[in-house]
Amino acid sequence: MFKTLLQEILDRINHSIGVLVLDSDGLVIDKFIRWEKQEIENLAIECINLIKETRLLSLNPQVGAVEELILQSEKMQFILRAITPEHFLILLMKPQGFTGLARYQLAKSCFKLEKELL
């Protein structure tokens, strides 16, 4: 469904591993992964659980809706970006990847994906 766009995202971001579009229940709508042997989908679903917990912050009117979440571990970075309130774009990349460039590319891509999802 979105394979071409997802592949373009990975091609523009050095050290990227995979990118997925998921709904708020953790169902994978589409994905593009460089190395299939990794358990990328399971990691992405766990990230959706983080988003669900973080959404409690959005109940506070001073905070507003969560648009992006960045998680950096010893071996990987996860950047989660809301496309719509029910759909998310998740990028997984190596720790040496440039987070700023990745955030910019994801934000640009979310506009295209939002049009397709609505």
Give pLDDT, residue 26. 82
Dihedral angle sign, alpha carbons of residues 42, 32, 84, 27: negative
| CATH superfamily of this structure's domain 3-117 | Dynein light chain 2a, cytoplasmic (3.30.450.30)
User: What is the domain partition of the chain in residue ranges?
Assistant: 3-117
Helix (H) or strand (E) holding 6: helix 3-12
Give pLDDT, residue 102. 95
88 SS3 class? strand
Q: What residue ranges of the chain have pLDDT lower than 50? A: none
> What global pTM score does this model have?
0.87
Strands (E) across the chain are located at: 16-23, 28-33, 68-72, 77-84, 87-93
